[in-house]
């Protein structure tokens, strides 16, 4: 199959537009955990639900030093409208030419009611503060997914962090 990012690897050589006006580049993945969730299309029921679930848990992700990005092939204008209408407090990545999506192998042949077409397969990727991929979810089911990502992140951080120890008190 095509070359795409795998666990333990870092993304290199990309720049995509975000709703903040700042480009999303490899540097954007440094010094914090990053969740990038890919979704098919702004303002559709599943994509709206998924975005809302991540938004509802945003303070919990922030407490774990984690930044959330939603990504699709929609234009930056559509992203601004979607973000404003839904009150999302995280940035959306616009990838109208699909180059960023292809690095993750999320732009694939899909089938719906017997009709084949190319589109984004709902997927999520978790990066560590060095910008390396540590977990991925493919063919995501929306309901409860943001909570699952949060729990995976909590478990990962608990595993790598040394436990707190306290001296014996008299």
Q: Which two tokens stand for residue 91?
A: 């940035």
Residues annotated catalytic, as ranges: 47
Q: Which two tokens stand for residue 44?
A: 């559709």
Of 70, 61, 53, the residue nearest 156 (C-alpha): 61
Taking residue 166's Cβ as centre, other Cβ atoms within 10 Å add up to: 5
Q: Which two tokens stand for residue 137?
A: 């979810």
Instruction: Tell me if 68 sits within 8 A of 93, measured CB to CB.
Output: no
Torsion of CA 106, 112, 118, 121, to 10 degrees: -10
Burial class of residue 96 (count of CB atoms within 10 Å of its CB; 0-12, 13-18, 19+): middle
Instruction: Tell me if 134 sits within 8 A of 128, measured CB to CB.
Output: yes
């Amino acid at each position: 199959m095509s070359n795409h990012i795998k666990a333990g690897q870092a993304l290199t050589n990309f720049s995509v537009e975000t709703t903040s006006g700042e480009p999303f580049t490899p540097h954007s993945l440094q010094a914090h955990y990053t969740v990038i969730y890919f979704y098919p299309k702004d303002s559709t029921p599943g994509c709206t639900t998924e975005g809302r679930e991540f938004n509802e848990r945003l303070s919990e992700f922030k407490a774990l030093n984690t930044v959330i990005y939603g990504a699709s092939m929609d234009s930056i204008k559509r992203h601004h409208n979607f973000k404003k209408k839904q009150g999302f407090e995280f940035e959306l990545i616009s990838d109208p030419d699909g180059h960023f999506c292809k690095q993750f192998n999320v732009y694939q042949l899909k089938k719906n009611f017997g009709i084949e077409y190319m589109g984004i397969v709902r997927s999520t990727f978790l990066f560590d503060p060095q910008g390396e991929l540590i977990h991925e979810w493919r063919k995501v089911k929306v309901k409860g997914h943001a909570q699952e990502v949060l729990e995976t992140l909590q478990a990962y951080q608990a595993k790598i962090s040394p436990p707190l120890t306290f001296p014996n008190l008299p």
